[in-house]
Amino acid sequence: MKRISIKEYEFELLISEDKIRERVIELANQIDQDYANKRPILMLTLKGAIIFAADLMREITIPTQIETIIAKSYGYKMTTEGNVELIENPIDLEGKDIIIIEDIVDTGYTMSSLLNRLKEFKPSSIEICTLLFKPKNLVVPIKVKYVGFEIDPLFVVGYGLDYAELGRNYKDIYIRVDKN
Ligand code: PRP
C-alpha cells in the first residue's frame, strides 16, 4: 500500500490517480451534456480546487469561462458559519450559469457561505461540482449536483487537499492512518 508522511502523520492511498482520472472524465462528460447550449462559468475555490479544476476543465469540451474565489475557513471544524472568509474578483455574474468547483464539501459551511454570496449577484443558475463529499459530516443542508467520490469523515490529503498547507501536490488522494 502506497504511503506518505507529512509532518507528524502518516497517510495511505485512498483514491489512486487512475481512479481520479476516470471519474474526472465522467464528470466532465456530464457537464458537457447538461450545459450543451450554455457557456457556464467555472468558479474555482482556492486553493484546494486548483488541481481538480485544472484536470476537469481540460476534459470539458463546451466553451467555459474560468473565475476564481478564495474561500478560507478559519478555525476549521468550528461550528459557526462566520468563520469562512471569501475574497472575490469583481466580475459580472448576473444571468450567468455558475458551476462552483470545489475539492471537498465537509460540513458544508464553506459552500453555504459561497452560495449565499454568489446568489447576491443574481446568476441564472448555480450548481456545485465537488471531487470529494463527506455526507456524514454535512451540517448545512446543501444540494451538490456533481460528486466525484463520497468518502467517510476521515482526514484526506493530496490532489489539492492539504495538511497544514502541505501535500496538495500528490497525484493520488491519501487518508490519515495511525503510525505502526
Ligand atoms: C477546505 C476545502 C473546502 C472546505 C470544506 O478549505 O477546500 O473549501 O475546507 O470544508 P467545510 O465543508 O467544512 O466548510 P480550506 O479552508 O482548508 O482552504 P483551502 O481550500 O485553501 O485548503
- Residue appearing with cell numbers 462559468: 41
* 47 in contact with ligand 1, CB cutoff 6 A: yes
What is the Å distance from ligand 1's center to 107 Cα?
9
- 3-31+39-177 in CATH: which number? 3.40.50.2020
Dist CA 13 CA 17 (whole Å): 10
Residue 85 has pLDDT above 90, yes or no: no
Name the DSSP class of 75: S
Residue 11's alpha-carbon distances to 89, 117, 131, 134, 136, in angstroms, are 35, 35, 19, 18, 21
Residue 80: predicted pLDDT: 42
Give the pLDDT band (50/70/90) at residue 71: confident
Which of 44, 52, 70, 73 for mutating ligand 1's site (highest number of atoms within 8 Å of CB)?
73
Q: Tens of pLDDT along 104-116?
A: 999 999 999 899 9
The residue whose CA has the least distance to atom 18 of ligand 1 is 72
Residue 102's alpha-carbon distances to 2, 119, 146, in angstroms, are 25, 17, 10
Higher pLDDT, 179 or 76: 179
* Options 32, 106, 172, 178, the catalytic residue: 106
* 71 in contact with ligand 1, CB cutoff 6 A: yes
Residue 180: predicted pLDDT: 63
34 counts as catalytic: no
- Structural domain boundaries of the chain? 3-31+39-177
Q: Do residues 108 and 116 make contact, with C-beta atoms less than 8 angstroms apart?
A: no
Residue 76: predicted pLDDT: 47
- Residue appearing with cell numbers 489539492: 160
Closest atom of ligand 1 relative to the 140 alpha carbon: 12
Q: Do residues 123 and 96 make contact, with C-beta atoms less than 8 angstroms apart?
A: yes
Give SS3 for 121.
coil
Of 91, 71, 65, which is closest to residue 83 (Cα–Cα)? 71
Helix axes 50-59, 17-34, angle to 10 degrees: 60
Residue 141 has pLDDT above 60, yes or no: yes
* 72 in contact with ligand 1, CB cutoff 6 A: yes
Average pLDDT over all residues of the chain: 92
